[in-house]
Structure 1
Amino acid sequence: MAQAKDWSLRLARIEDAEAMPAIEARAARMFAEVEGLAELAGGETVTPERLRRYIRKGHCLVAHEEGQIIGFIVTEPFGRELHVWEFDVDPDHQRRGIGAGLLRAAMIDARNSGFRAITLTTFRDVPWNAPFYERLGFEEVTALDAHPRLAGELAVEADHGLPAERRCAMIRFLD
């Protein structure tokens, strides 16, 4: 018998920004086990101030359980696309469908709000990155010249030390 879902999703609130960096930092520790990416395990997190700016735009979601935030997705509109800036589930709560639930809810919100696609950048070779997104219908953007915003984001990431050969942009068109 499957375990009942004991978590819920809702729109992020301004006050949620204070809890999000700790969840991001805990999730980032998983990179300690990925060859060549261990330095990301103790990296910087998105500041609460920046998170509040995204939350005010109205498309950020949190997963919560018993009043505690256990995951979140931070997005920002760019024209007719909604871009995922940060997406984390606390490691103690992973493998329960929370990440997929957050992403599916973000896709529904985006479609209902008139966006034509969701975009993001990620590691193509980390199991909980590109392969996870592929299972939810995302495709790697291979023609980056047709997506200058995403190409620019990948360039900024490379400038900040992320290995360009391991990064990719992905898109999920909303039907």
Structure 2
Amino acid sequence: MPIRLATPADLALLPALQLAAGAAFRAVGMAEIADAPPPGAEEFAPHQRLGHLWVTVDDADRPQGFVLVRLLDGCAHIEQVSVHPAAAGRGLGRELIDHVAGWAAGRGLDALTLSTFRSVPWNAPYYRRLGFRELTEHQLTDGLRQVLAEEAALGLTDRVCMRRGGGSDARRG
């Protein structure tokens, strides 16, 4: 499926896509994650305007997955990757992440970073297979520490920060 920058018309479709993708958390006993309301279209808009939101689309040009990034500590930080369950298992998440990696490299960004659930099979174990490595406390940047603190304040536990690319010691702040 093609990947392109999200357009304003895509934004209204992304909350339902994220909610559908999140339903998988129910199967691992995380109903509170599955049932959490997704961000509204207006919350995606600033990322879309900055060119930090990409979608993979079907033949009708409807988003089937998306990746949202922000710049954090000289890296492209992946805030969210979601693929609709009807399109899952086709490598779309990997393609979206690889797309962001190419975008980041073209802008001279050090690496990709993200935070994720350590033990959910399609989270940290999946990202390891895509070349991400778990960061130790010593390797966390100030920005990543802030991300983890914000997630903890929301009640998200079992979280880990990961990095793909850049040097062996990710510490910058």
Q: TM-score, normalising length from structure 1? A: 0.89
1:46 matched residue in structure 2? 39
1:117 matched residue in structure 2? 111
Q: Check if 1:63 corresponds to 2:53.
A: no
Q: Give the distance between the partners of 2:139 and 2:91, measured in 1 at CA.
A: 34
Counterparts of 1:80-95 in structure 2 under 5 Å?
Answer: 80-95=74-89
Aligned residues: 166
Q: Check if 1:137 corresponds to 2:152.
A: no
Say if 1:9 and 1:91 are closer, same or farther in 2 by CA, change over 3 A.
Answer: same
Say if 1:155 and 1:140 are closer, same or farther in 2 by CA, change over 3 A.
Answer: same
SS in 1 for 2:10: helix
8 Å CA contact 1:144–1:151 kept in 2: the answer is no
Instruction: Name which of 162, 170, 173 aligns with 1:170.
Output: 162
Q: Give the distance between the partners of 1:47 and 1:128, measured in 2 at CA.
A: 24
SS in 1 for 2:127: helix
Q: Check if 1:10 corresponds to 2:4.
A: yes
1:107 matched residue in structure 2? 101
Shift of 1:44: 1.8
Identity of matched residues, %: 34
SS in 2 for 1:19: helix
8 Å CA contact 2:22–2:33 kept in 1: the answer is yes
8 Å CA contact 1:119–1:170 kept in 2: the answer is yes
SS in 1 for 2:114: strand
Shift of 1:77: 1.3
Unaligned runs of 5+ in 2: 168-173
Say if 1:159 and 1:57 are closer, same or farther in 2 by CA, change over 3 A.
Answer: same
Q: 1:170 corresponds to which letter in structure 2? A: M
State the 4+ residue runs in structure 1 displaced beyond 4 angstroms: none
Q: 1:128 corresponds to which letter in structure 2? A: W
Shift of 1:14: 2.3
Q: Give the distance between the partners of 1:168 and 1:79, measured in 2 at CA.
A: 17
Shift of 1:78: 2.3
Shift of 1:145: 6.3
Q: 1:100 corresponds to which letter in structure 2? A: R
Unaligned runs of 5+ in 1: 1-6
